Amino acid sequence: AEELSSLPGYASWKRKQDLILHSEATMETRRNAIRSGIVTPSETLFVRNNLPAPDASIVADPDAWEVRFEGVNDPRTLTLGELKKIDVQTVASVLQCSGNGRAFFPHGASGTQWSVGAAGCVVWTGVPLKAVIDTLGGPSGGAKFITGTGGEEIPDGLDAKEVMVERSVPLEVMERVLLAWELNDDPIPIAHGGPLRMVVPGFYGVNNVKYVKYVALTENESNAKIQVSGYRVRDVGVSGAPDQPSMWEMNIKSWITLPLDTTEQGRNMLYGVALGGTRTVDKVEVSVDDGETWQEAELLGPDLGPYAWRPFVLATELSPGEYRIVSRATDVEGNSQPEARMDNERGYGHNGWRDHGVTVTVS
């Protein structure tokens, strides 16, 4: 696919040199833009929009933004200004598209051909959803899901249920859900879902509903296409359906960020990042011979919690030649990245270590 030559208006403040411009709605962080960083600068963070972003005028007066709450004993519409007075918390979490790594699937999974860069680790500040629900008298009964609706206007002539971004996540994760108004210490820009975003730490990007305008505790999952048949893991050639796993919790994953392509002989620092989804990363091993032998890398601090990623480094001597450098992360419960990808129709959830390696020529 043809890449854009310049940043689209709503993302014109981004660092163009850090991004691969797949389209107006999809921009990927370059593998070399992460280096040893823990928090991904907003200017470098990937963008993925399923619908055209709303007009930036909605972030001009953030505190006036209204959200409707349903499925509680006292259903109400609250403004962002009011939400800010309920409580406030900060969480570092990885934002990663379900299709990150799609480019590595040999069957040519349709959708944006993300390599490793549909992911970043960012800091969100907002009100815990639990505190808002308590303020509204608690769940009204029978609730099994938290359903959030994006604030996009549905383009003329399209069926809302077909295109709207409305996602449901299990009620059990409520304790960690934030309604966030800050990204990396600044008001959330329109590109990342300002003025208010539903953040579900540890869950794939799609569940982090931007410009959230409606939050409901519901008995059933949303009947929007994006929930019913979209973002479902199924075999190649099979259509999406509600009985297939939804792209909710992220799996353990890591990749090398430096060096890429070439480096000089002698002592080298091999950098990368590792995420555990909802579990803390325990260790990362690195191999310079495509998985024949492994060495344990050093985790770099600080530890920003289970939802953040952890940069790592392995210091090693390299002599001239060609190397296939791969990394494999393990979480505190012993879950490790598999070697292979799990083939699936849409190329979701790829965490196989083999495909994520880099080939480096040392001279």
Binding site for ligand MSS (CB under 6 A): 45-51, 95, 97-99, 150, 152, 165, 192-193, 204-206, 208-211
| Shortest distance (Å) from residue 166 CB to ligand MSS | 9
| Residue reference for tokens 């939804």 | 246
Question: Which CB sits closer to ligand MSS, 38 or 165?
Answer: 165
CA–CA distances in Å: residue 101 to residues 84, 181, 280, 352: 36, 29, 21, 9
| Shortest distance (Å) from residue 99 CB to ligand MSS | 6
Question: Which CB sits closer to ligand MSS, 194 or 306?
Answer: 194
Question: Which CB sits closer to ligand MSS, 94 or 325?
Answer: 94
Distance CA 304, CA 121 (A): 10
**Residue 224 · residue 50 · CB < 8 Å:** no
Which residue has its beta carbon closest to ligand MSS?
Answer: 150
Both structure tokens of 229:
């048949």
| Shortest distance (Å) from residue 69 CB to ligand MSS | 17
| Shortest distance (Å) from residue 96 CB to ligand MSS | 7
**Residue 363 · residue 264 · CB < 8 Å:** yes
Question: Which CB sits closer to ligand MSS, 46 or 271?
Answer: 46
Question: Which CB sits closer to ligand MSS, 49 or 168?
Answer: 49
DSSP β-bridge partners for residue 253: 275
Question: Which CB sits closer to ligand MSS, 133 or 191?
Answer: 191
Q: How many H helices and E strands in the chain?
A: 4, 22
| Shortest distance (Å) from residue 249 CB to ligand MSS | 12
Instruction: Say whether 27 sits in a helix, a strand or coil.
Output: strand
Distance CA 5, CA 16 (A): 10
| Shortest distance (Å) from residue 176 CB to ligand MSS | 17
Amino acid letter at 70?
E
| Shortest distance (Å) from residue 134 CB to ligand MSS | 25
| Residue reference for tokens 């077909």 | 162
Question: Which CB sits closer to ligand MSS, 167 or 310?
Answer: 167
**Residue 318 · residue 269 · CB < 8 Å:** no
**Residue 219 · residue 143 · CB < 8 Å:** yes
Question: Which CB sits closer to ligand MSS, 29 or 268?
Answer: 29
Residues 67-76 as b or e (16 or more Cβ within 10 Å = b): bebebbeeee
| Shortest distance (Å) from residue 51 CB to ligand MSS | 5
Distance CA 76, CA 128 (A): 17
Distance CA 191, CA 112 (A): 17
Distance CA 108, CA 92 (A): 33
Question: Which CB sits closer to ligand MSS, 101 or 311?
Answer: 101
| Shortest distance (Å) from residue 219 CB to ligand MSS | 23
